[in-house]
A = this chain, B = another copy of it.
Amino acid sequence: MCRWLAYSGSPILLEELLYKPAHSLIDQSMHSRLGVETTNGDGFGVGWYGSEGLAPAVFREVGPAWSDRNLREMAGHVASPLFLAHIRASTGTAVQQTNCHPFRHGSWLWVHNGAIRDFSQIKRELVLAVDPSLYPAMEGSTDSEVMFFLALTFGLDGDPHAAVEQMVGFVEAAAAGHGIANPLQMTIGASNGSAVWAFRYSSEGRSRSLFYSTKMQTMRQLYPDNPVFQTVSEDTRLIVSEPLGDLPGAWNEVPESSYGVVHQGDDELHPFRPRLP
């Protein structure tokens, strides 16, 4: 499986989260604690939004994140108020840039941890359901990308959580038609540059781990001496596959079958209910 993180808040250098924490995402590429595999060495990617409202940039590479010098350089020189990063452990599909996350379409970025069971059996059926106008934009061979384009087909741009619920409902229905039990495992991070949506769900009700950071206001009270918490804005939030360190009180588990929205002002947390499109 994979690991990912999403950041929203005051602009910070990518390295603040990718490299500096004790159990940073780059550290997780070799030493994941909560993943199915400890190693996530089959490529990586970072997608970031600028302050100026341009489409997001995406940097993806096929080697392990831990030894990538260009990522190290970039992370020390690029600052962003909203970015998603992902390290990949392939479940069989080719190790190539077009299979690395984040996937991007228009202003949207998409990262995924998990898998569709027996994907090759239902891939064709799923791909056929992608809007023909979106079809040519799919470049890779992963289940993650097909899930993204199904969600786009079902209206990700207008009502993100409804679109993802329909995507999941559609995948589960297709799998049922092929007798595939418990077809879906997923945590998903998605953003359009103004908010971040995070989903945690699995058909079997035992989903991959997902955490969100405690409110900065609380963090400042808990750790008055920590300089980082003093400088970032109140609405700064992190969502991560596994905690970036062992700070007590810093991390909260996203509940099973739930999704959250992070944006300026109050955040939200709701139940996630698959439905048919």
Residue A136 CB within 8 A of the other chain: yes
Residue A181 CB within 8 A of the other chain: no
A86-108 toward B: CB 8 Å interface, digit per residue (1/0)? 00001001111110000000000
A31-63 toward B: CB 8 Å interface, digit per residue (1/0)? 000000111011000001010001001111111
Question: Considering only CB atoms, which chain B residue lies closest to A62 in the complex?
Answer: B63
Question: Considering only CB atoms, which chain B residue lies closest to A76 in the complex?
Answer: B57
Q: Are A141 and B98 in touch, CB under 8 angstroms?
A: yes
Q: How far is the CB of A30 from chain B (nearest CB, A)?
A: 5
Whether A70 contacts B60 in the complex (CB less than 8 A), given A124-B132, A135-B124, comes out as yes
Q: How large is the interface on A (under 10, 10 to 19, 20 to 34, 35 or more residues)?
A: 35 or more
Q: Are A95 and B57 in touch, CB under 8 angstroms?
A: no
Q: Are B123 and A95 in touch, CB under 8 angstroms?
A: no
Question: Considering only CB atoms, which chain B residue lies closest to A134 in the complex?
Answer: B124
Q: How far is the CB of A60 from chain B (nearest CB, A)?
A: 7
CB-CB under 8 A from A139, the residues of chain B are: 93-94, 141
Residue A73 CB within 8 A of the other chain: yes
Q: Are A64 and B61 in touch, CB under 8 angstroms?
A: no
CB-CB under 8 A from A67, the residues of chain B are: 41-42, 90, 95
Q: Are B63 and A95 in touch, CB under 8 angstroms?
A: yes
Residue A247 CB within 8 A of the other chain: no
The residue that A50 contacts in the complex, of B38, B77, B120, with Cβ under 8 A, is B77
| Top 10 closest pairs, chain A to chain B, by CB | A120-B136, A96-B96, A57-B77, A124-B135, A57-B73, A67-B95, A41-B41, A94-B98, A59-B70, A139-B141
A residues neighboring B (CB under 8 Å): 30, 37-39, 41-42, 48, 50, 54, 57-64, 67, 69-70, 73-74, 76-78, 90, 93-98, 120-121, 123-124, 127-128, 132, 135-136, 138-141
